[in-house]
Amino acid sequence: MDKLLEQIKKGTVWAFPGGIHPPQQKSLSNSASITRLPLPDKLIVALKQHIGANGKLLVEKGQHVLKGQPLTAPAANWSVPVHAPSSGVVTDIAPMPSAHPSALPELSVIIEPDGKDEWVALNKNKSPAELSHDELINIIHQAGISGMGGAGFPTYVKADTKQPIEFLIVNAVECEPYITADDVLMREHAKEVIQGIEIMQQLLNPTLCIVGIEDNKPEAIAAMKQAAEHNSKIIIQTVPTIYPSGGEKQLIKLLTNREVPSIGIPADIGILVHNTGTLFAVQQAVYEGKPLIERIVTVTGNTIHKPGNVWALLGTEIKHLLDCQGFSPVPQQSVVMGGPMMGFTLPTVRIGIVKTTNCILAPDHKELAEPGPEKACIRCSACADACPASLLPQQLQWFAKSKEYDKLQEHNLFDCIECGACAYVCPSEIPLVQYYRIAKVEIKEQQADKIKADRAKERFDARKERLDREQEERQNRHKRKPAAKSADEKQKVAEALARVKNKSDNGDEKSAVAAAIARAKAKKLGDQSAELEPDNSEVAKERALRKEQARKYKEQKSQTDESAATAPVDDKKSAVAAAIARAKAKKAAQALDNAEQAATEEPQNDAPVDDKKSAVAAAIARAKAKKAAQTLDNAEQATNEEPQTDAPVDDKKAAVAAAIARAKAKKAAKALEDAEQTVSEEPQSDTPADDKKAAVAAAIARAKSKKAAKALEDAEQSVSEEPQTDAPVDDKKAAVAAAIARAKAKKAAKALEEAEQTVSEEPQSAAPVDNKKAAVAAAIARAKAKKAAKALEDTEQTQPQELQVDSAAPKSAESNTDDSSVLINADKPKSADDKKKAAVAAAIARAKAKKLQKEGNNQS
């Protein structure tokens, strides 16, 4: 670094590749001082005169503005305002032709000057050293200063760079022919230019500032050296006259021997470059408070009678400049904005001056001949030798014509500075620069479209993600979130899980279901660290245990079947069936009791009754009723003595016990039916009787006999139809049901015995009885008994079968066996044929019993 500084201070200059030496033609305009033009009739101020975004419009049509008043305000990055060049009225805000080869319309403010040229209030600063960094940047920004020698890059962005700057280079080379604006500026305003350099030094704090000036400007070199004598950090460096030494990268190579990387900027290597016109505008903004509203423009060419440099207000029409300098057009006259190498021909002279306009060239046909027709490339390599960027112009031209944009970028098309040296030396007169400009525009458009597509895709993805998130939120909106578990609860869960795990490690038998529940609880509580791993060994152990139990159960069942013939009867199902029978018997006794009470209260008719026959009938009825009660009592006692067991019931034993119970019930029903039939067949006599109470007792006995028979028949039928099952019965429930049934049966037997005793103890009367009244009373008693029987039957049908055990199971073969056959064959095992015969016999027995019952009812 020290060696480089020493070389720079000694005046060492390094060469850059390529370059040409076109005729300078600078003497036409640099011999006269800068003049100021009169106010034009209108000013067309374009809103965009720099690289970056447009500002926000602050004025409207018809508004009066002052000189230096902002027309726009910065609205985005790299945005600088524009100001009114003179006081006047805004006559229109409309698109106007732009200062571009295409002359595409751009939004512009059209001002009609009022001739007063009245300034806005200016904020002058005599001591910029006292201003802070941010204050200086803000002044430069609000003054609307952008690069005035090239592309129009906003100056405040360069001045506010965060990268360290070693060299501040001032581009005062002005290498292009005909242009002398910077030359005369340095001659007449060298002090102001140096003050602008010092302001940038204050902002950037560089190690050294180098002012590069071509050796064809001796007067400007002398003026700048004199103005910079007091500042040892400013070096005025003379460079050889060669085009394009004024290019940014080429000038850096000349003065520092450093090269800017491809698609890079000078700040990447610690260097910053400013134009002399830009530094003068900075000095005016900081010291005088003036915004950028005018600049020096060179007006030259053989068709201009008074060529020279003028102060032109921004927005002044080019026609006004030409007219003021004595323009005499020739046939097919062309007017160029810029120099002959990098400038472009204007389609009209009704275009306003912008911040980057440094020259207006109006040549005749000898100065700037019309280009001839394009010829084929002869591969002379003159363009490659002249290129200051070391590119391959011929190859780039082929790729540009075939629109191979990828290859253009691979060959560094954007390193081209469009200096025109290749086209200047081309013997085939190929407009190489025009091909490059078109290709650059198309590539930029393609990249812009890609950026738009990428942004649209990002917006689409973001919208889709937002819609999915909103849908998920809607779905989960009504779901209750689990309450957060406290540290104590988590600790308790962890301890419980640890205990379970320790038991498992010690070999304790653990159920797979319990392990699953523990894992589910651990997962629900969110304690992932304590979650148990699946224990397949325990599941396998449980499966093996179940298989062993099944095998033992099959062996036990087979042994039970072999000893079923000799084993004592132990039937839980028979206990249930007997309980049902006793319950129905009790219901029948209750109904008969009600019928007896009703018959006793009936009025007696006046018909005479044979007292002797009535007494005989009553005695017979009492005897048979007593016999039936005794039978029922024996059946109940036998049922009560049934042993209860908690072990599973054997199917064969249950069938035997059920058959015994049905036989006893059927026997009791038969006895009561016989008693009823005997009472109902007693002959009625028309002779008078002396015993009215005997007739009543006889009627009550008949009614009770009929009702008991009906109830016992229904009980027997219900018992015989009970479904048998092979599944084990709940022992405790069966024992309770049997106990209840025994109690109810005992109560019914007692009620029937009391009824019998009441009938037998009825006193006989010797008084004559009215036969007609006795017959009526008997009929009424029978009717009420039938009514009670009907009510009992309806009650039995609606009574819930809470004592049925596993009613969904299929009936066993023993449930259809006849009672008598079961009693006979209870002590020996039955074969399949025996079971079938027993079922047939049971069906025949039930049919006969129903037939006898029907005949008894008819006789009654």
DSSP letter at 722? P
**Is the distance from CB of 611 to CB of 694 less than 8 angstroms?**
yes
Q: What is the maximum span of the chain, computed from C-alpha positions, in angstroms?
A: 179
**Is the distance from CB of 70 to CB of 130 less than 8 angstroms?**
no
Distance CA 488, CA 499 (A): 17
| 416 known member of a binding site | yes
Q: Cα–Cα distances in Å, from 406 out to 400, 432, 511? A: 10, 18, 71
| 175 known member of a binding site | no
Distance CA 489, CA 127 (A): 73
118's enclosing H/E stretch is: none
**Is the distance from CB of 215 to CB of 13 less than 8 angstroms?**
no
| 419 known member of a binding site | yes
In the sheet with 271-275, reading across from the earlier edge strand, the strands are 234-239, 208-214, 167-171, 271-275
Q: Cα–Cα distances in Å, from 649 out to 655, 734, 775? A: 10, 11, 54
Token pair in block for residue 130: 């006292």
150's enclosing H/E stretch is: none
Q: Cα–Cα distances in Å, from 768 out to 602, 688, 693? A: 18, 6, 11
The answer, yes or no, to whether the previous bond of 347 is cis (omega within 30 of 0) is no
**Is the distance from CB of 94 to CB of 81 less than 8 angstroms?**
no
Determine the 3-state secondary structure of 106 from DSSP: strand
Three-class DSSP labels, 322-384: HHHCCECCCCCCCCEECCCCCCEECCCCCCECCCCCCEEECCCCCCCCCCCCCCCCCCCCHHH
Angle, CA 727 vertex, CA 726 and CA 731 arms, to 5° = 120
- Spatial neighbors of 572 by CB under 8 A, at least 6 apart, are 644, 645, 649, 654, 729, 731, 734, 738, 805
Token pair in block for residue 322: 């030409």
In terms of DSSP H, where are the helices of 681-770? 692-720, 731-760
Angle between helix 276-283 and 181-188 (nearest 10): 40
Token pair in block for residue 503: 């038991």
Q: Cα–Cα distances in Å, from 533 out to 519, 529, 530, 754? A: 8, 11, 9, 74
Helix, strand, coil share of the chain (percent; to 5):
50, 10, 40
543's enclosing H/E stretch is: helix 536-562
| 209 known member of a binding site | no
| 380 known member of a binding site | yes
| 426 known member of a binding site | yes
| 324 known member of a binding site | no
| 422 known member of a binding site | yes
* Binding site listing for [4Fe-4S] cluster: 377, 380, 383, 387, 416, 419, 422, 426
Give binding residues as ranges.
Answer: 377, 380, 383, 387, 416, 419, 422, 426
